[in-house]
Amino acid sequence: MQTIGERLEEARKRKGISLREAAEATKIRSDFLSSIEQNKFDFDLPDIYKRGFLKNYARYLKLDVEKTLTDYNAQQLSNSRLGKKAGTEWFGQMEVKKPERAEDAEAEPEASHSLGRISPAPAASPPEPEIEDDHHEREDESDRTFYLKIGLIFVGTLALVFVVFGLIWAILGSGGDDSAEVVEPELRESSSAGETLTGGGDNGETPASSDSVTLRASGNVYVLVRQKEDDTELYRKTMSAGESVTLEKSGPVDVLFTAGEFLTIEHGGERMRPSSSGTAKITIP
């Protein structure tokens, strides 16, 4: 049957660990570990530390800690009984004088019997301190830190992807007519067909020339005007109610808007309004 030291040494060599590496990992001096593997527990330290060393060393080598301590207790108890037996045999060789008188012989067994009842109370052994396995705790802490970093990296990457897609969606949603497919509604005149603005118009303003277009807003509406000839952007803004703007153009222009019900377009002496509400695009010749 293997001793405690032989089991520990075999487990260490099976894992390919040197005494120096084991000493650094368990914080136990290598000479103490060597003595333990040789099953020599007579080094000058209290028994409570020897138990702590055995517990940490067995846990480091992935052995059964409880079985190791149980075997150690059995070994110490066996050594203690052998020592008592040797002491009894040594004292048994002493010559005991017999009592000279019969009265003394009768009194002696009674005294021995009464004294035999007195047994000293066993000394209470100090509680075994719990020696923390610093190496085991450091491994658990490093594992937790590693998984936390992986989780943060994953969450950060996911958030970055969402931000990028959001920016792309915003650009495409607010972009021109090249990327967004919109329905071009028919125009309807605001008053009568071919209405010509004379004089100052309804607001006393001079009518715009045929090479210009005037935009008037009756509510909040986003407007983008792009010249088709050279793809030049003439205007981009959210117009408020009552706001108007006149743009000089060269050739046809595309007008992109978000709320057609709030937009009036004046061009060539005519005042027009989109026939449908919502987002759309129209072309002014």
Domain boundary among 67, 93, 119: 93
257 pLDDT higher than 90: yes
User: Is 279 within the bounds of a domain?
Assistant: yes
Report yes or no on 125 lying in a domain: no
Residue 102, pLDDT score = 46
Does the pLDDT at position 81 exceed 50? yes
Is position 277 within any domain? yes
> Which tops the pLDDT comparison, 82 or 105?
82
Model confidence band, residue 80 (pLDDT cutoffs 50, 70, 90): confident
Identify the CATH number of the domain in which residue 26 sits.
1.10.260.40
In a domain, 63, yes or no: yes
Nearest to 135 by CA among 269, 17, 7: 17
Residue 183: the pLDDT is: 40
What pLDDT, in 10s, does the model give residues 148-161? 899 899 999 999 99
Residue 163 domain-assigned (yes or no): no
Residue 232 lies in a domain: yes
For residue 28, being part of any structural domain is answered with yes
Q: Which domain CATH number covers 280?
A: 2.60.60
Residue 164's identity, in one-letter code, is V
Q: Which of 30, 39, 36 is nearest to 1 (CA)?
A: 39
Q: Each residue of 208-237: pLDDT tens digit?
A: 556 899 999 999 999 999 999 899 999 999
pLDDT band at 269 (very low <50, low <70, confident <90, very high): confident
Structural domain contains residue 196: yes
Counted domains in the chain: 2
Res. 246 pLDDT band, cuts 50 70 90: very high
pLDDT-based confidence at residue 268 (cuts at 50, 70, 90): confident
Q: Which of 93, 121, 137 is the last residue of a domain?
A: 93
Q: Of 61, 93, 125, which closes a domain?
A: 93
Measured between alpha carbons, how far is residue 178 from residues 116, 164, 172, 244, 281 in Å?
112, 21, 10, 26, 12
Q: How far is CA 98 from the centre of its chain?
A: 85
Q: What is the DSSP string of 38-105?
A: TT---SSS-HHHHHHHHHHHHHHTT--HHHHHHHHHHHHHHHHHHHHHHHHHHHTTS--PPPSSHHHH
Q: Which of 59-63, 126-130, 172-176 has the highest mean pLDDT?
A: 59-63
Task: Collect contacts of 21-29 with beta carbons under 8 A, ≥24 apart.
Answer: 22/57, 22/60, 22/61, 25/60, 25/135, 26/53, 26/56, 26/57, 26/60, 26/135, 27/56, 27/134, 27/135, 28/53, 28/56, 28/57
247, pLDDT greater than 50: yes
Q: Domain of 35?
A: 4-93
pLDDT at residue 132 greater than cutoff 80: no
Lowest mean pLDDT among 5-9, 12-16, 73-77, 202-206: 202-206
- The more confidently predicted of residues 33 and 177 is 33
Mean of per-residue pLDDT scores for the chain: 75
